[in-house]
Each structure stands twice: as C-alpha cells, then as structure tokens.
Amino acid sequence: MKCVKIGDRVIGNNNPPFFVAELGICHEGSLNVAIELTKAAVEAGAHCIKTEAFQRRKIVFHSSAMMDYSIKGKEYSVSQEEHMDKYQLCIDDHCQIKKLCDKLKVPFMATAHDFETVDMLEDIGASAIKIASPDIVHYPLLQYVAKKKLPVFLDTGSSYQFEVEMALKVLQDEGLKDIIINHNPSGHPAPAEQQDLRIIQGLKCVTDFPVGITDHYEGYDMVYAAVAMGADSIEKPISLDRFVTEPERNMSISIGDLKNVLKKMNEVFSSLGQGQRTTMSENGERYRFNNRMSCIASSDLSIGSEINFENVTFGRPHIGIGVEHWDLIAGRKLTRPVKANEFIHWGDVD
C-alpha cells in the first residue's frame, strides 16, 4: 500500500490512525469558537485541524437546494442558502485558523468546492485538500486540485464503485500520488445500519491507497469500529458540546471527551497487532511458561523404567519435556532415577 505523509505523520501501511478534527459548522459561524476548538483539539492530541471552506454564493445558485439532517429523531430540512449563510466562515477566518495551526505545529486542511478556494488553500500552505463526496464527479475540480500536488482526502459517500475508480483515475492522470480515500456513510447522522464498514477493507482490496472514514455517527462507537476494520484515518466533527440542538453537533465529539476518545482509538489500534504468529510478546512467553504442561514423574522411578501413563503425570510450569512431545517419549526408558513430582528432561530418556 502507498503511504501518505501529512506533517510528521505517515498515513497507511499499518501506521496508527490519523485523526482529523473537523471544525465543520460546530463553530457556529464564529471564528472565536473555531479558535477555541482548535486549541483544545490540539491539546487533546488531534493530528490535524480541518475546516469547511465553503462560500455559499460561489456554489449555491437556487433556493431549491436543501440541507437535510436529523436531531434526536426529528427530521429537519432547510435551504442550503440559509444553512450556509448561518454557518460559513469568511476566507480570512480560515487564514487565521491556519496561522494558529502553524503556531501550534499541527497540519491544517480544508474542504474546497471551487477553484478559488483551492488556490487560497495552496497560497496559505494547507497540508492537504478535502474533496466532499458530492464532488467526486466534479472532474474539473479534481483535475484542478490534482495539479496542485497537495495530498487529497477523497470522500466517497453516495457513490458507486465505478465513480470512485473514475475519480482516482482523474486525480492520477494529472500526476497526483498522495490520495487518502474516505468511506463516507450516508446520513446526518448516519445510523449504524448504514455504516457498511466492510467497505473499508473492500476499498483496500481494489486500490493501493490508504482508506479512512468520515464519521457521521451519533456517538463514538464507529471511531473504534472503523479502526478495528482497518481505517487508516478518522475524520469526525468536534464541538464544545455535542448535546446542543444544532446540526452536526449530535454527530460530533464533545471537546472535553476528545482526549479519551483518542486514547481508546489508539488502544483499539494497538489491539490489532501484526496479524501473524511468527513472533511472541514477552507476556505471551511468560504465559506459556507458567501455564503449559510438562512431563512429571508420578512416583519414584528407577533407571530403565518405561515412560507411560502409569508412571508419568502432567503439570505446570513448562520445564523439561513439554506434554506436546509425549508421542516422542512414550515407551522409551529412563537413563537416570527420577523422584516423584520431578520434571523429566530430554537427558533423562534413552
């Protein structure tokens, strides 16, 4: 698998998952809140800060475009014009967040929907550019982004496999090599039955790129489940309080929980191991020694005694001849006296 380097971290090839703290719209359209969240996320251990660099007037041209989401089971539908006007940050706000990230020594990236935003992100030195799932078929945008040679996070929600592969071809045809594919379950929030986390491994099987997830689940469970399924990166919104009745808050991580979420995420990753049994941990070796059975004399035995079930028992720890070698010594004779409850060693048999 190809690896992608963002800042000082490598994504892919069994490296620990890369966590992208998504400011999204949880900053409530306030630069001050965005700055507060950025500082807290970095302190908690987030590996990257991401913004949504949309400018409504550049991408929404009719009031019929709607934004659908749910909070506490209640469905909402508002015009994208209203939604974006309420939550968008201005270009200078994104620049200010980038400057803060530089000061805090953490990578900054953003979602771009148009050419001007791509140029802006290149000019301010963004570490990567995100392509939102609806733009996976925006081939002019993909070509334009690819020419910048910045790493691209490609969301794949509500797309067919051939569309994913076509988007990858467009990016690669323009010479882009650093791509992270994001599985992007449908829904705001996305319920468990729509997660389809096996897609993570499926994408890994048919591509040569790191695969992550854009997590829109209401709660933290899918962070851990996705890592267990092999996700190389996790992107999830962060907020001051995920229980506030605002869109995207309910699928965010409350900033006070982020440190513990990242700790558990890394524990899940550590639990995966290397997927092979050619090595043994120190704890594993100690457990084997203490708990595997060995061959032990069940009574005092003299030279020439035949080794059989009548005069040999089995017990711990794993000293001398292990029980797994019984077939090699059964019926053979002792070459020295062995006392009851004494372990039998290879030098004791003919």
**CA dihedral over 254, 260, 264, 266, signed as positive or negative:** positive
For residue 229, give the nearest of 197, 252, 262, 275 by alpha carbon.
Answer: 197
At 59 the pLDDT is: 80
How far is residue 212 from each of residues 12, 19, 222, 227, 327, measured CA to CA in Å?
Answer: 9, 10, 12, 9, 50
In order along its 350 residues, the chain shows pLDDT tens digits of 899 999 999 999 999 999 999 999 899 889 999 999 999 999 999 999 999 997 777 787 888 888 888 988 888 888 888 877 888 899 999 999 999 999 999 999 999 999 999 999 999 999 999 999 999 999 999 999 999 999 999 999 989 999 999 999 999 999 999 999 999 998 889 999 999 999 999 999 999 999 999 999 999 999 999 999 999 999 999 999 999 989 999 999 999 999 999 999 999 999 998 887 788 889 899 999 999 999 999 999 999 999 999 999 999 999 999 999 999 999 999 999 999 999 999 999 99
At 174 the pLDDT is: 97
301 neighbors 334 (Cβ within 8 angstroms): yes
**CA dihedral over 311, 316, 317, 322, signed as positive or negative:** positive
Task: Kindly list the domain boundaries of the chain, sorted by start residue.
Answer: 13-272, 282-348
Calpha distance 348→332 (Å, rounded):
10
Calpha distance 261→94 (Å, rounded):
26
Architecture of domain 282-348: Alpha-Beta Complex (3.90)
Calpha distance 300→344 (Å, rounded):
12
107 neighbors 6 (Cβ within 8 angstroms): yes
Angle at 158 between CA 265 and CA 197, to 5 degrees: 30
For residue 108, give the nearest of 53, 145, 167 by alpha carbon.
Answer: 53
Residue 128 phi/psi, 5° resolution? -165, 170
H-helix segments, the chain: 31-44, 56-59, 80-87, 91-104, 115-124, 139-147, 161-173, 198-206, 221-228, 258-272, 282-291, 326-329
At 86 the pLDDT is: 85
Other C-beta atoms within 10 Å of 112: how many? 27
At 275 the pLDDT is: 80
At 255 the pLDDT is: 98
Tell me whether residue 100 is exposed, middle or buried, using C-beta atoms within 10 angstroms of its C-beta: 0 to 12, 13 to 18, 19 or more: middle
Calpha distance 198→23 (Å, rounded):
27
Calpha distance 294→287 (Å, rounded):
14
Q: Name the CATH topology of 13-272.
A: TIM Barrel (3.20.20)
Classify strands 179-183 and 211-214 as parallel, antiparallel or unpaired: parallel
Burial letters 51-85, b for 16+ CB under 10 A, else e: bbbbbbeeebeeeeeebebbbeeeeeeeebbebbe
